[in-house]
A and B are shown apart, each in its own frame.
Chain A
């Protein structure tokens, strides 16, 4: 798929002097594995899976996300966002099929029925660009979205925080630590995370009526830091930034030939790392669909499934993040009392730990039933088996994978005939192996996995006809299959 990427800037972000996403979840890491940059991310970033939550001086609960993982990738890697963007840009250059244009700002969009015409402003002048499809990934304040008159119903929180990215010498475990009500932060919340280059992300909840300028002065931030780390600790600030989070949701992620992804379509509060990770998942969901439509292997209505799947995922993320935000910023004495009851009981009883909420970490959202996936679609982890992994088998990015559980050579050969009609390849897998176990699929079953590693269908009666029907559903009305049916 040939694409032009326009970026109004000429850099992926000044090193260190910006504070954006830091936590990349397993599904994102698996996508990066498929794209060929996971190893760089792992080598540079901080791998973690344990989160600990404190109330006052006592621990309230701990989770280890590794317990539920069957993947080659860990539950999380922390990395400053500019590194991630840098690695992606390097990979784009290396693959040499995308035209990346810096210092190019979109000033006008004509979203016509046949094509999208965008006006691009550059230091050398303006020009018009005609595209079959146009993706708006310009973020929360998208002017493209605004110019098209699309409403996102934003809601701004009164909760205030101050990020402090800092280097210090005190050794801490590489775990996610959160305090609901830290004694060293006047009884308000604190986050503690390690990123690359020995930089810690410390995020302090502030009083709602604080002066953002005053609380982000280095001497004030330094006092907070010493209150947490002790009076003698040596530290060096990398970035201090006060913020208020907001959220919003676009009603429809597809408007004709324009598609909205990432923050342009949905914004959530930062708790649980559901922002950046869902932007990455948007791209993974849309990419293969666009490629099949452009290759004529699917009709353009397949792009409606991008909205049908990613919009409900955004709604779910919004709900989850709003619940966390409400736990962290009680609005009345009654809410404080209820939270106090949760934290008190959580120190002693398992059931109450489930109620303490300092973020439900980003997961690959399941998609609801639709015409493209009758039973809905759920993500498959990157399980290793037979000298390869699921993501390596999907590396091409545009073909489905039919996992034939315990299939013999003859039935596999029959299935293989479908590879000429549909964008799918088949692989026989061991019925008692880790992949079959992870899928919960018995011998004789064919599991149809999409290029974004979601299960499109689980076929117990795995005839070639059944697989063909599932593929017809999954890609929509397929021109080549229709022709084949006629012939």
Chain B
């Protein structure tokens, strides 16, 4: 792998069907308690992380998710 193609987190639009993804994601949470919803999201993160695989991309995504948390109210 050349240094030029060093993998980084993608932030350009890469989803073929963003509205469809959003719909499917919230549909998966329907009828669940907060606890069950949180568990589902945790499993989802793991499944998606395994699609990505690359540790640098994963670390960058974790850092960005942490940086983007809502300000404390």
| Across-interface contacts of B39 in A (CB, < 8 A) | 337, 340-341, 344
In the complex, A294 has a CB within 8 A of chain B: no
Question: Quick check: A344 and B43 within 8 Å, CB to CB?
Answer: yes
**Interface presence of A345 (CB below 8 A):** yes
**How far, in Å, is A486 (CB) from chain B's closest CB?**
46
Specify which chain A residues have a CB less than 8 angstroms from the CB of B43 in the assembled complex: 341, 344-345
- B1, CB-defined interface residue at 8 Å: no
Residue of B38, B45, B46, B50 with most chain A CB atoms under a 10 A cut-off? B46
Within 8 A of A (CB), among B27-57: 38-39, 42-43, 45-47, 50
Q: Is the CB of A338 within 8 A of B50?
A: no
Interface SS of chain A: helix, strand, loop or mixed?
Answer: helix
The answer to whether A384 has its CB under 8 Å from any CB of chain B is no
A371 to chain B, nearest CB (A): 28
Query: With contacts A341-B43, A344-B43, A345-B43 known, is A351 near B38, CB below 8 A?
Result: no
Smallest beta-carbon distance A334→chain B, Å: 8
A331 to chain B, nearest CB (A): 16
The number of chain A residues touching the other chain, given as a range, is 10 to 19
Judge whether A342 and B38 touch: CB under 8 Å. Answer: no
Interface presence of A315 (CB below 8 A): no
Q: Which residues of B contact A344 (CB under 8 A)?
A: 39, 43
Interface size class of B (residues with CB under 8 A): under 10
Min CB gap A54→B, angstroms = 19
Residues of B within 8 A of A337 (CB): 38-39, 42
Tell whether A352 is near chain B: CB-to-CB under 8 Å: yes
Q: How far is the CA of A341 from the CA of B45 in the complex (A)?
A: 9
Which A residues lie within 8 Å of B42 (CB)? 337-338, 340-341
B65 CB to closest chain A CB (Å) equals: 13
B44: nearest residue on chain A (CB-CB)?
A341
Residues of B within 8 A of A340 (CB): 39, 42
Give the chain B neighbours of A341 by CB distance below 8 A.
39, 42-43, 45-46
Q: How far is the CA of A5 from the CA of B50 in the complex (A)?
A: 52
**Closest Cβ neighbor of A344 among chain B residues:** B43
For A351, list chain B residues within 8 Å (CB). 50
| Distance in angstroms between the alpha carbons of A351 and B50 in the assembled complex | 7
Query: How far apart are the CA atoms of A108 and B59 in the complex, in Å?
Result: 50
A345 — which chain B residues lie within 8 A by C-beta? Answer: 43, 46-47
Which residues of A, 315-355, contact B by the 8 Å Cβ criterion? 337-338, 340-342, 344-345, 351-352, 355
B43 and chain A: residue at smallest CB distance: A341
**Chain A residues whose CB sits within 8 angstroms of the CB of B46 once the complex forms:** 341-342, 345, 352, 355
CA distance A267 to B46 in the complex (A): 32
Within 8 Å CB of B45, what residues of A? 341
Bitwise interface map of A from 448 to 461 toward B, beta carbon under 8 Å scored 1, else 0:
00000000000000
Separation of A2 and B45 alpha carbons in the complex (Å): 59
CB distance from A288 to the nearest CB of B (A): 37
- Per the bound structure, the CA–CA distance linking A117 and B60 in Å amounts to 54
Q: Can you give 6 contacting A-B residue pairs, CB < 8 Å?
A: A337-B38, A341-B45, A342-B46, A344-B43, A345-B46, A345-B47
The 10 tightest CB contacts between A and B, nearest first, are A341-B42, A351-B50, A341-B43, A337-B42, A341-B46, A338-B42, A337-B38, A345-B46, A345-B43, A337-B39
The residues of A with any CB-CB pair to B shorter than 8 Å are: 337-338, 340-342, 344-345, 351-352, 355
Instruction: Give me 9 other A-B pairs in contact (C-beta within 8 A), A341-B42, A351-B50 excluded.
Output: A337-B38, A340-B42, A341-B45, A341-B46, A344-B39, A344-B43, A345-B43, A352-B46, A355-B46
